[in-house]
Amino acid sequence: MTAGEVTHAAATPTWHPEVLDGPLTTRQLLRVDEALRIADRTTELTFSVYIGDLADPARGAAERLHGELVDPDQSVLIAISPNQRVLEIVTGERVRRRLPDRECKLAALSMAAAFGGGDLAGGIVSGLAQLADHAGKP
């Protein structure tokens, strides 16, 4: 699998060419992008999804990716490495007040169940919805 990244900016999604060779179809990418847009709009947080291999340790790699976001303190990163069977959710300092670890773990379990059934896009979409619901409105 080629590493790819799907991110969401406030006005326009950022597509990286390598995403088109990744594990999601164009239709699935559009579903994920819409889920990102809804999560951002309803929570006023910034949600991002990374799909690709993560360096060891995976948690540290996910935290480094999260730190590269425009406003890490106000952001949530879902990092998924299908090849390594790894899922990490990293939240910013201000996000943790609204989205505690327990809620992230519940969303991760839900996503992992979908991934195990072969539904990567559906797992991401439902995980984003669950995280946004838990974070609530500001």
Distance CA 68, CA 42 (A): 23
Give the tens place of pLDDT for each residue, 75-112: 999 999 999 999 999 999 999 999 999 999 999 999 99
pLDDT score recorded for residue 112: 95
Q: Do 12 and 37 meet the contact criterion of CB atoms below 8 Å apart?
A: no
Give the tens place of pLDDT for each residue, 109-124: 999 999 999 999 999 9
pLDDT > 50? residue 13:
no
Provide the CATH topology of domain 4-135: Diaminopimelate Epimerase; Chain A, domain 1 (3.10.310)
Which residue(s) pair with 66 in the sheet?
A: none
Please enumerate in sequence order all residues whose Cβ is within 8 A of that of 52, keeping only pairs 6 or more positions apart, or say none.
1, 2, 3, 4, 5, 22, 81
Q: How far is CA 87 from CA 56, 81, 99, 105, in A?
A: 13, 6, 17, 10
pLDDT > 60? residue 11:
no
pLDDT score recorded for residue 14: 46
Distance CA 31, CA 122 (A): 9
Looking at per-residue pLDDT, the higher value among 2 and 23 belongs to: 23
Type of residue found at 60: G
